[in-house]
Amino acid sequence: MIWMSRARDSGSVEYFFNSQSLREDQLFQDMLPEAVKAFEAMKQIVLYPEGSMIFAEGQRPRGVYLLSQGRANLVMRPKGKRARIIRIAEQGEMLGLSATISGEPYEVTAETLTPCQVGFIKRDDFLSLLREQPETCFRVAQLLGQSIHESYERFPLFDKTLPASAKLAHLILSWCAGGEETDEGIRLRLPLTHEQIARMIGTSRETVTRAFGEFRRKQIIQLEGATLLILNLAELESVAKSCQRSQKLSCLRNF
Third-level CATH fold of 159-254: Arc Repressor Mutant, subunit A (1.10.10)
Q: What are phi and psi of 43, to 5 degrees?
A: -70, 135
Asked if the domains 2-151 and 159-254 are classified in one and the same CATH topology, the answer is no
The CATH number that domain 2-151 falls under is 2.60.120.10
Residue 113 DSSP one-character state: S
| Model pLDDT, residue 235 | 95
Per-residue pLDDT tens over the stretch 32-85: 777 778 888 889 999 999 989 999 999 999 999 999 999 998 888 877 766 667
What is the arithmetic mean of pLDDT over 147-169? 74
Domain ranges of the chain: 2-151, 159-254
Mean pLDDT for the stretch of residues 225-242: 92
- Segment 241-249 mean pLDDT: 56
Give the C-alpha separation, 166 to 151, whole Å: 18
Q: How many CB atoms lie within 10 A of CB 102?
A: 10
Quote the pLDDT of residue 199: 74
What pTM was computed for the model? 0.71
pLDDT for 244: 55
Percent of the chain with pLDDT strictly greater than 70: 76
Confidence band, pLDDT 50/70/90 cuts, at residue 137: confident
Most confident of 18-22, 25-29, 245-249: 25-29
The reported pLDDT for the residue numbered 241 is 83
Report the C-alpha gap between 14 and 119 in whole angstroms.
Answer: 28
* Helix, coil or strand: residue 89: strand
pLDDT bucket at 3, cuts 50 / 70 / 90: low
Q: Residue 133's pLDDT band (boundaries 50, 70, 90)?
A: confident
Q: pLDDT at position 193, please?
A: 86
Greater confidence, 33 or 253? Answer: 33
The residue ranking higher by pLDDT, 180 or 245, is 180
In order, the DSSP letters of 9-34 are: P--SEEE-----EEEHHHHHTT--HH
Residue pair 140/97 in contact by the 8 Å Cβ criterion = yes
Select the more confidently predicted residue: 252 or 168.
Answer: 168
Lowest mean pLDDT among 20-24, 123-127, 129-133: 20-24
Kindly report the average pLDDT of the chain as a whole number. Answer: 81
